[in-house]
Structure 1
Amino acid sequence: MLSDLILINSFFIAFHKLSGGFLLNYVELEPYKAGEVLLLINLAYFIAVNIIPNNLAKNIVFFDKVVQRSLSFSILYIVIFTVGVYLLNVTEITLLKWVGCLLLFVGVYTLFQILLRILLKLYREKGHNYKYVIIVGGGLNGMNVYYDLSSSTYGYKVLGFFDDNKSLENALPNYLGTTAQVEKFCNENQVDEIFCTLPGNQEAKILKLINFSERNMIRFYLVPEFYKYIKRKLVLNFLQATPVVGIRPEPLQSLSNRVLKRAFDIVFSICVLLTVFPLVYIICGLLIKLESPGPILFTQKRTGLHGKIFTCYKFRSMRMNKDADTLTTVKTDPRVTKIGSFIRRTSLDEIPQFINVLLGDMSVVGPRPHMVKQTEIYNKLIDKFMIRHLIKPGLTGWAQISGYRGEIKTIDQMEGRFKCDVWYIENWSFVLDIKIIFVTVFKTIAGDKNAY
C-alpha cells in the first residue's frame, strides 16, 4: 500500500508538471487548494483499495490475476477521484486530459504491479521471504500438496512429512516422523504453517493438531478428502455455521456481475443495432434477395440458458433447404450462396443475433448456441455437456478465439470446445469479455481459416 501511495502521488505530480497544470490550476490564486487535491488523491486510493484489495502479499498469485486486479483497481480509482474532483470543485479537468490521464495511469499502475510481483519472485528465488511448512499425512493428497507448494516462486519451503505409516519413510521426499512427533518438531524449528491431509476418520489426531497450532500461533490448513476425486477450483459457502462446498466457481452467480454483463450487453447491442445493423441489413438483404428466393433473415431453434429453446436470428446464407435444422455447414457446402459465403467468412451473418442479445436470449460473449439436434447428440457423447448452458450463449466466446470456431469434425474437437466453454464459465470477468471481443474483431479482419 505504501508503494502504491508513493506511485500514485508521484504520478499525479509528474503529470501535472508535464501537462502544464493538470490538477492544481488554482494553486497560484488559492495555495490551499493544492493540499485539498493531494488529500483527495490519497483518500480516493483508500476507498478504491477497500473495494478491490491489494493481494500482492499472497504467496500464490498468477500474472493474469495481477493484471486483472490492477486494471480494475486503476479504473475504479480514476472514477472515484474524478467524482471527488467535481463534487469538491477543487480543480478543472478537460475531457481530453482526463482520458489521457486515465489511459496513462492504467498502464503505469498495471506495469508497476507486474514489476513488483517479478521482483518478489526474484527475491524468493534468492532464498528470502519464505513460509516454512510441514505436511501431516503422506498419502496422495499429501504428495499433491507437496508438489503444489514446492515451486520457489510461491514462497513456500516444505520442511517434510509426518505420517504414522512408517512404511512411507523411504517413499516420501523427507519423512520427519509420526504425528506424535509434530509438536516436538515445531517447538524446535521455525514452522509457519501446517497442512493436514489426514483422513476424516482420524478426528482425534486432527483436533489435537488444531489445538496445538492455535496455542503456538501456527496457521493450520485442512486438505479435505474429496480432493482425491474432485481436482478443481471449489467454492466454500456457509448455511449459518454449516460449510457448503460448491464444485465449481461461477463468477456470474454474483448479482453484481450479472448486472454488469447484462448492462454491457444492452448498451453494446443497442449501439450496433442503431448504427451498423441498418446499413448491413439493406446491403446484405438486397444481395441475398437478388441471388436466391427466400427471407433475408434465417431463424433457427437453438439451445440457450438452462437448456431452454430460443429462436436465433441470422442473415440467410444458404438456399432454402429442408436440412437447415439438422445438418451443420461444411467446407464447400453446396447449399451456401455466393453472398452467403462472403457474409459467413466475415461473420456479417451473425449481426442479427444482436437482436437476441437485446431480447436477453444471448450475450455478446458466451458459449456458442447449438442447434437443438446438435445439443441432443453431443449430450449423449460428451459427459456433463449441459454444463455449458449454465450461462447465456454468446455471439463469440473463449472457444471461438481458441481455435474451435466453425465446423466440428471429431468428438475431440467438440470436447475441446466444451472444455473452453467450461473454463470461461469458471473464470469469467468483465476484462476477459473485452479481451474476447477485441480478439474476435482482430481475427475477423485478419481472416479465420475456420470461418466458412
Structure 2
Amino acid sequence: MHSTTHIDASVPIRNGGMLARLSDVVVIAGGALLTMRAPGIIDGAGYDSALVAFSMLLALMLFPSWGMYRVARRGVFWRCVCVPMFAWLFVLVASCVLVMALHRTYRPAADWLEEWACVSAAGVVISRLAAHAIYFRLTKQDAHTRTVAVVGNAARCRQIMRKVGAKSDSMYRVSAAFDTEPKADAVPLGLPTFCDRKAFADYVRNTNIDELWLAVPLSEGQTIVPFVGLFRNDLINVRFIPDVSGLSVFAAGMTNLEGTSAINLVASPLASHSLISKEIFDRAFALCTVVTLAPLFLAIAAAVKCSSPGPAFFTQRRKGANGKVFNIYKFRSMRVHAESDGVLKQATRNDPRVTRVGAFLRRTSLDELPQFFNVLRGEMSVVGPRPHAIEHDRLYQDIVDGYIHRYRIKPGITGWAQINGFRGETDRIEKMQGRIAHDLYYLSNWSFWFDIRIVFATVFKGLVHRNAY
C-alpha cells in the first residue's frame, strides 16, 4: 500500500503547460521550415512534410513523459538542456524510422536533417530555459527554502521526512513535528517534536515556519479543526495531506473532476497523457519490429508447420485493459490437442505435448513474437503485466490480493515481473503472488524510461529463462 504524500520540488507548469507544448511544436515546425529554405537544401519527394508532422505529433505526446514541463530549483542544466536534447533526438529518430518504414524508398536529405535537428534542439532548449526563468521570476521559489512543521503520528512524520529528504532539489525542509500519538519508548525523530499544542504553536511562530502539514488519517478529522483554528490569524500555509494508505491500491494522487478535487483511492495510476505516449511508443515499436523481423517470422512459421500437423499460429482468449477479452497470438509450440471446457493445463517441464521446435521457441520466447500484431491492433502493449489465461483469472482473482488491478492497463509482451524471474509455470501460489506484486509495482512506478529499461533488460537477459518450458 502507498501513502498519498507527493512532495516534489519539481512541479508542472500548470497554467502554461499547454502553451509550453504548443511552443515546442512551433519550434520543431519552424526549425524544419527555416532549414528547408536555406541555400542548398532541396525539398524531399513529398515525404519531408510527413516526417515533420510525425515529429510534431510524437513530441506533443512523448515530451511530457520525460518531465519536460516540470520545473525545479536544482538540476536546471539536466532538466533544461540534457533532457530536452535527448527527448528531441529520440522523437526525430523515431519519426524517421516510422516514415521510412511506411515508405521504404524515402531517405531524408542528410544535410537538411542535421540542420533541422540542431536548430530545433536549440529552440527546444531555449524555450525550456525561458520557461524556468519566467516561473522562478514569478514565484521566487529559487530564493527561499520553505520550512515545514508536520502534524501526525511518529511513523507518518518520519515517512514524510524521508520523502522530503530523498529529493535533492526539494524546496521544503521539515523543521518541527507534532506527534499525535506520543509513546514513552518512541524513537526520536531527530528534530523538535511536541505533544502540547500551545508549545508547538509558539515554536512555529517564533521560528517563522512557513507551512503546516496536517498528515493525519481521514478518520481523525477532529485533529484537523483545532490546528486550523490555532493558526487562523497567522500568515502560514496550512495543507492537509490525508493518510489513505489503508484504503488506496496505488499511490493516491489527486485528480480534477469538473473543477472538484478528488483523491484516487482505486483508479488507474497512469494519467491520460501517459497512456497516449505509451500507445504511440507501442505502435511505433511494434511496426518497426514486424517490418525488421518479417523474414524471421516467415522462417519460424515454416518450422512450426514442418514440426507437426496444424496451423503455424495458436490463439487463446485473454483479458486486456479493463477486462476486455481478446485473442492473443503465438507461434504454436505444442501438438494439436483438445482441452476440457473451463480447464487449462499449463506446460510443465518435459511436457510431451511440446514439439522440438516448440521447446526451442518457448526457451527463447520467440513464440511470443506474433503478439506484436496484438500491439498493432491496440489489444496489447510492448511492456505491461503479462496476460493470463481466463481460467487462471477466475482462479487467482479471489485468492491473490490486488490481482484484478493488473488489468487497469493493456497487458504486455514483456514486463517487470518477467525480467525479474516470474515467468513460466505458476505451480505455487507464492509464484503468482510474486508476479502480481511486481506487476503492481510497475503500475505504481511507470515512466517512459522504465519501459525502455524493461525492453533492454528483456533483450539482454529476459529472452531465455530456466522457467520457460
* Corresponding residue to 1:305 among 302, 321, 336: 321
2:154–2:181 contact (8 Å) kept in structure 1: no
Query: Cα gap change, 1:389/1:98 in structure 2, threshold over 3 Å: closer, same or farther?
Result: farther
Query: Cα gap change, 1:370/1:97 in structure 2, threshold over 3 Å: closer, same or farther?
Result: same
Query: Cα gap change, 1:192/1:268 in structure 2, threshold over 3 Å: closer, same or farther?
Result: same
The equivalent of 1:204 in structure 2 is 225
* CA-CA distance at 1:53 after TM superposition: 3.7
* CA-CA distance at 1:210 after TM superposition: 5.0
SS at match of 2:440: helix
1:315–1:350 contact (8 Å) kept in structure 2: yes
Spell out the pairing of 1:192-341 with structure 2 (5 A cutoff): 192-197=210-215, 199-212=220-233, 215-216=234-235, 218-227=236-245, 230=248, 233-240=251-258, 242-247=260-265, 250=268, 252-254=270-272, 256-277=273-294, 279-323=295-339, 326-341=344-359
Answer yes or no: is 1:187 the counterpart of 2:205.
Answer: yes
1:236–1:246 contact (8 Å) kept in structure 2: yes
Alpha-carbon separation, structure 2, partners of 1:382 and 1:166: 36
Letter in 2 for 1:201: Q
Alpha-carbon separation, structure 2, partners of 1:231 and 1:315: 36
Answer yes or no: is 1:404 the counterpart of 2:422.
Answer: yes
Q: What TM-score, normalized by structure 1, do the two folds share?
A: 0.67
Task: Answer with 319-328 or 68-77: which moved more.
Answer: 68-77
The equivalent of 1:118 in structure 2 is none
Q: What does the per-residue CA deviation read over 1:358-383, in whole Å, with 9 as the maximum and x for residues that have no partner?
A: 22221222211111111111112212
- Higher relative contact order, chain-length normalized (CA < 8 Å, sep 6+): 2
* CA-CA distance at 1:228 after TM superposition: 5.5
Superposition RMSD in Å? 4.4
Alpha-carbon separation, structure 2, partners of 1:259 and 1:303: 20
Alpha-carbon separation, structure 2, partners of 1:78 and 1:309: 34
2:315–2:327 contact (8 Å) kept in structure 1: yes
Q: What does the per-residue CA deviation read over 1:53-110, in whole Å, with 9 as the maximum and x for residues that have no partner?
A: 454427xx9xxxx899953564249979xxxxxxxxxxx98368569979x99xx9xx
Letter in 2 for 1:133: V
2:319–2:388 contact (8 Å) kept in structure 1: yes
1:304–1:369 contact (8 Å) kept in structure 2: yes
Letter in 1 for 2:437: K
Q: Provide structure 2 residue ranges, at least 5 long, that are not aligned to the other structure.
A: 1-9, 11-34, 40-62, 93-108, 126-143
SS at match of 2:202: helix
Alpha-carbon separation, structure 1, partners of 2:331 and 2:91: 40
Alpha-carbon separation, structure 2, partners of 1:202 and 1:339: 67
Spell out the pairing of 1:18-37 with structure 2 (5 A cutoff): none
* CA-CA distance at 1:249 after TM superposition: 7.2
The equivalent of 1:395 in structure 2 is 413
* CA-CA distance at 1:434 after TM superposition: 2.3
**Larger helix percent:** 1
The equivalent of 2:433 in structure 1 is 415
Q: What TM-score, normalized by structure 2, do the two folds share?
A: 0.65
Letter in 1 for 2:328: C
1:161–1:172 contact (8 Å) kept in structure 2: no
Q: Which structure: larger Rg?
A: 1
The equivalent of 1:362 in structure 2 is 380
Alpha-carbon separation, structure 2, partners of 1:163 and 1:388: 37
Q: What does the per-residue CA deviation read over 1:184-203, in whole Å, with 9 as the maximum and x for residues that have no partner?
A: 22232242332224531245
Alpha-carbon separation, structure 1, partners of 2:91 and 2:212: 42
The equivalent of 2:149 in structure 1 is 134
2:250–2:444 contact (8 Å) kept in structure 1: no
Alpha-carbon separation, structure 2, partners of 1:165 and 1:276: 62
1:132–1:158 contact (8 Å) kept in structure 2: yes
Q: What does the per-residue CA deviation read over 1:15-74, in whole Å, with 9 as the maximum and x for residues that have no partner?
A: xxxxxxx9xx99xxxxxxxxxxxxxxxxxxxxx99982454427xx9xxxx899953564
Alpha-carbon separation, structure 2, partners of 1:136 and 1:70: 39
* CA-CA distance at 1:340 after TM superposition: 0.8
Letter in 2 for 1:134: A
* CA-CA distance at 1:223 after TM superposition: 2.7
* Corresponding residue to 2:196 among 157, 163, 178: 178
2:228–2:238 contact (8 Å) kept in structure 1: no
2:153–2:179 contact (8 Å) kept in structure 1: yes
Letter in 2 for 1:308: K
Q: Provide structure 1 residue ranges, at least 5 long, that are not aligned to the other structure.
A: 2-21, 27-47, 81-91, 109-128
Percent of paired sites with the same residue: 32
Alpha-carbon separation, structure 2, partners of 1:56 and 1:171: 33
2:146–2:173 contact (8 Å) kept in structure 1: yes
Task: Answer with 172-181 or 342-351: which moved more.
Answer: 172-181
Alpha-carbon separation, structure 2, partners of 1:179 and 1:342: 69
Task: Answer with 422-431 or 385-394: which moved more.
Answer: 422-431
